[in-house]
Structure 1
Amino acid sequence: MGIQSTIEASVDKFTPAMQRVATVIRDQPRIVLEQTISELADSCGTSVASVVRFCRVLGLSGYAQLRMSLATELGKEAAQFGNDLILGAEIAQSDTLQEMASKVASLEILAIDETVSGLDYGALERVVAAVDQAERILLFGIGASQFVAQDLHHKLFRIGRNAFLLADPHEAWTAALLSPAGTVALGFSHSGATADTVRFLDIARQAGALTVALTGSPDSPLAQAADECLVSRARESRLRAGAMVSRIAQLAIVDCLFLGVASQRYEQTVDALRRTRDVTHPK
């Protein structure tokens, strides 16, 4: 995972002082290359000790490693997207529509790249095998995460899998509690902290279901409630009505998961897709 995505995924671990460091670096990532640790601490209204603790929460030895990691990452991004685009920059009121579209598109491309390259393919293979053999597949997410769950439900339903999209928390908890043998329960939450979704996986796990978390935070409560965890990587813009970049990253995982399941019974899948297309697109 890139250092900027690591910062994004670690927000819940930061103290208020460290959160100020994260905000400044998120908005102006090049500031780390331009300022000493003392200057950065002043810019963030905090202490040098807080900056050092911030680095260690990220798994870094100190400020020098943070600077080196950011320099490498920003160099790669400049080569891929051009020097004029600062990926860490927020969408500004002064941006043109073209500039806003470029920022969002670049962040979404980067999110897909980081998500796919950072996937735990061992975990993905185990989830594919479990979903392929499942007697029942339960899918649940709140808000924008429900749209991602809905996308996987649509795909699995189209190829004849026994998948259920649960829209209401009480409905989800009931379905989780009454999970028959061979149930796979998938919970969707980018933050991994959505209480209703965490409870859904907790109940399903206690009922004997295999639980899977699709989240952007591998240390989150949702990940801890899951037998398997598929992690997305995204740097989300604060100017949003719902998930944007994080949604795209999770949809990339959904597509990988679906293709894995579909390929387990290739001929049956192709036949199901052909037949369902014929019935929904009559000649």
Structure 2
Amino acid sequence: MGDPRAVGAQIRMRLPSLTPLEGKVAADILARKDIDEAMPLRAIAEGSGVSEAMVVKVAKKLGFAGFREFRQGLVDYYRSDTAALHSEISAEDTAGEIVQKVFRTAMQALEETFAILDLQAFERAADYLHRARQRDFYGLGGSAQIARDVSHKFLRIGLRSSVFDDAHMMMMSASLLGPEDVAVAFSHSGSTSAVIDAVELARRNGARTIAVTNYPDSPVARIVDVVLCSTAQNSPLLGENATARIAQLNLLDALFVAIAQRDRKAADLNLGRTMRAVQSKRRL
């Protein structure tokens, strides 16, 4: 693991792919701030109430070569400035403390999402969306709001897209897509059945598929051509989704710029046209 900021994200993002016991062990270990280079495997295993073999198994399922690499990764992560950004909100917090904690948690999500970003996947997504004849976005709830934000930005530079947040409409859309089109699934959990069903149909019809999700091993991530991952630390009050949306919005802003750069002259021309079109709606 080259970037220490990515360690915590790597562990959290793979928790859903673990068994309940493995997930508990991984979460217990991630929550420990007292781990150092000298802490033996036995001590960590005893702290989680499992065997040493179980700790090694969990380390490998999380993408580490073994316990020593897992331990060193955690040590490096907790020494990084990024790990220190997150603090839980308590009932006694003042308004100033609440604002600081919420902002710092969002900053952590941005730092960690940047650290785990697959630039090759990012480039492929930009190419697919730039060349597409039709761009259809699928999402429910908060994910649909992210899809709408992206669609709005695309329209500003002349790229047409459609947003679907109804299961039946998603399937109708997917049935009409073909090899020149792109379907983008927005799903924080990556397990929203309505979104997965639509993406599966779009892919069967030959369309390129992209997923924007928090979990690289999720059901939707396993069936698409390109996965763009965000990451965020869970919070009892804020939840994980709220913070992840901030990271996803920034990730998709970057994708928007990358697509615009592929034909900057056309993007600038269309941006000027769309800005002038709404200028008359502003009261001075």
Same fold (TM over 0.5): yes
**Structure 1 CA distance, aligned partners of 2:14 and 2:209?**
23
Unaligned runs of 5+ in 2: none
* Aligned residue in 2 for 1:279: 277
**Structure 2 CA distance, aligned partners of 1:213 and 1:151?**
16
* Aligned residue in 2 for 1:121: 119
Unaligned runs of 5+ in 1: none
Equivalent pairs counted in the alignment come to 276
Contact 1:236–1:246 (CA under 8 A) maintained in structure 2 = no
* Aligned residue in 1 for 2:12: 8
Alignment CA distance shift 1:245-1:137 (3 Å): same
Q: Are 2:64 and 1:60 equivalent residues in the alignment? A: yes
Alignment CA distance shift 1:263-1:196 (3 Å): same
* Aligned residue in 1 for 2:170: 172
* Aligned residue in 2 for 1:30: 33
* Aligned residue in 2 for 1:262: 260
Q: Are 2:109 and 1:111 equivalent residues in the alignment? A: yes
* Offset of residue 134 of structure 1: 1.3
- CA offsets per residue over residues 41-83 of structure 1, 9 Å max, x none? 4443434333222212112233332221111111122xx68xx
Matches within 5 A, 1:37-56: 37-56=41-60
Matches within 5 A, 1:69-84: 69-77=73-81
User: Percent identity between the aligned chains?
Assistant: 31
SS of the counterpart of 1:68? helix
**Structure 2 CA distance, aligned partners of 1:280 and 1:215?**
33
* Offset of residue 86 of structure 1: 6.0
* Offset of residue 228 of structure 1: 1.4
SS of the counterpart of 1:139? strand
Structure 2 counterpart of 1:13, one-letter code:
S
* Offset of residue 278 of structure 1: 2.4
**Structure 1 CA distance, aligned partners of 2:39 and 2:102?**
28
Alignment CA distance shift 1:214-1:17 (3 Å): same
* Aligned residue in 2 for 1:224: 222
Contact 1:138–1:166 (CA under 8 A) maintained in structure 2 = yes
Matches within 5 A, 1:198-237: 198-237=196-235
* Offset of residue 242 of structure 1: 6.8
Question: TM-score, structure 2 length as denominator?
Answer: 0.87
The answer to which of 186-195 and 228-237 deviates more is: 228-237
Structure 1 counterpart of 2:21, one-letter code:
A
SS of the counterpart of 1:244? helix
Structure 1 counterpart of 2:58, one-letter code:
F
Structure 2 counterpart of 1:210, one-letter code:
R
* Offset of residue 158 of structure 1: 2.0
